[in-house]
Amino acid sequence: MTTRAEQDRLWIRRYHPRPDAAVRLVCLPHAGGSASFYRPLSAAMPASVDVLAVQYPGRQDRRDEPCIQTLPELAGHITSVLLPWTDRPLVFFGHSLGATLAFEVARRLERDHGVVLHALFASARRAPSCPRTETVHRRDDDGLIEEVRLLSGTDSAILDDIELIRMALPAIRADYHAAETYVYEPGPDLHCPLWSLVGDSDPKVTLDEARAWSRHTDASFGFRVFPGGHFYLTSHQAEVVRLLTAGARPKRRPVEPGRASCP
């Protein structure tokens, strides 16, 4: 049986431990991404917030492990790993695929364990109830690389190194498969405050699709649009950190309450 220490070593990266922090921020990466994407954000967060970045299998120091290709399976693993960390309030920040994962893990924590998040931040992702038919995971390697270039989520120098990018393709393809085969199952709303953050020129999500996250909580809802595309947050880290810091404080007031529908 895997011990907690072994589970944490596999799944959790704690770049700047803050053991006395009152709140924990759990960051879930985008498709093809890794925990290290959140190292700068972790460094920028205040001492009051302990940051845990999730490392999916099949990349970086876990590259020898098989990738997980379905979102429910990945969400189940992450839920189990995070349970021991629920002794303090949790805030989730998920970007792209990570946003849907954050939502599904939050549902499992509420439904199966009675744990309600302090807040959930869904970044650069359409609401779960706004499906699209997408088949990027079925493309050949060149088509998959072109998709990554379009979103500008990887450093251009890495994209120009064909050997490096091809090493990352299995993880990218598996994550796209998980994201694109995900099917939302209607159920109870979350009971935590929920924010939707999006870039105004994101090719993967419309503003209406991002605003429709309001349908998935019965608590307060906030909506913020940034200049930029799918990876707007790399240019607006200070503002994202400000929002996350505010979301980690107790008794947040509702921002832009109301419910939206899919376009």
- Catalytic-role residue among 77, 137, 216, 230: 230
The whole-chain average pLDDT of the chain stands at: 90
Q: Is the pLDDT of residue 253 over 60?
A: no
pLDDT at 151: 78
Centre a 10 Å sphere on the Cβ of residue 156 and count the other Cβ atoms it contains.
Answer: 9
Is 261 noted as a catalytic residue in this protein? no
Q: How confident is the model at residue 260 (pLDDT cuts 50, 70, 90)?
A: low
30 part of the active site: no
Domains of the chain: 4-131+183-247 (3.40.50.1820)
Phi-psi region of 98 (alpha: psi -120 to 50; beta: other; left: phi over 0): alpha
pLDDT digits (tens, 9 = 90+) for 175-198: 999 999 999 999 999 999 999 999
pLDDT digits (tens, 9 = 90+) for 200-209: 999 999 999 9
Q: Tell me what the mean pLDDT of segment 136-156 comes to.
A: 76
Q: Is 158's pLDDT higher than 50? A: no
Order of strands across the sheet with 23-28?
12-13, 49-54, 23-28, 90-95, 119-123, 194-199, 221-226
The whole-number pLDDT of residue 221 equals: 98
Active-site entry in 96, 123, 196, 214? 96
Residue 163: band (very low, low, confident or very high) from pLDDT cuts 50, 70, 90: low
Structure-block tokens of residue 190: 């979350």
CA dihedral of residues 77, 78, 84, 89 (deg, nearest 10):
-150
Distance CA 71, CA 69 (A): 7
Phi first, then psi: give them for residue 184, nearest 5 degrees: -70, 130
Checking if the pLDDT of 133 tops 80, the result is yes
Q: How confident is the model at residue 24 (pLDDT cuts 50, 70, 90)?
A: very high
Over residues 101-114, the pLDDT tens digits come to: 999 999 999 999 99
Could you tell me which of 217, 191, 186, 223 has the C-alpha nearest to residue 205? 223
